[in-house]
């Protein structure tokens, strides 16, 4: 139920137009995962 799948879908859509190296893909996924983790912690803090 996390946001991981939507992030992957968004990255996949974007990549259809922009071809990235595996290193760039890893870097982007890393940033997305960090953002998701921060978002989850913030939700817990607020609730």
pLDDT, tens digit, 9 for 90 and up, residues 10-33: 666 665 666 778 999 999 999 999
Question: What are the φ/ψ torsions at residue 18 (nearest 5 degrees)?
Answer: -120, 115
Q: Is the pTM of this model over 0.75?
A: no
Residue 34 pLDDT greater than 80, yes or no: yes
Whole domain around residue 26: which residue ranges? 4-46
The upper half-sphere exposure of residue 42, i.e. CA atoms within 13 Å in the direction of its Cβ, equals 6
CA dist 27 → 4, 18, 38, 43 (Å): 15, 15, 17, 24
Binning pLDDT at 50, 70 and 90, where does residue 8 land? low
pLDDT score at 9 = 67
Structural domain total, the chain: 1
Under 8 Å between Cβ of 29 and 11? yes
């Amino acid at each position: 139920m996390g946001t991981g799948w939507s992030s992957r879908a968004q990255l996949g859509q974007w990549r259809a137009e922009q071809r990235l190296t595996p290193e760039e893909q890893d870097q982007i996924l890393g940033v997305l995962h960090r953002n998701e983790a921060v978002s989850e912690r913030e939700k817990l803090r607020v609730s």
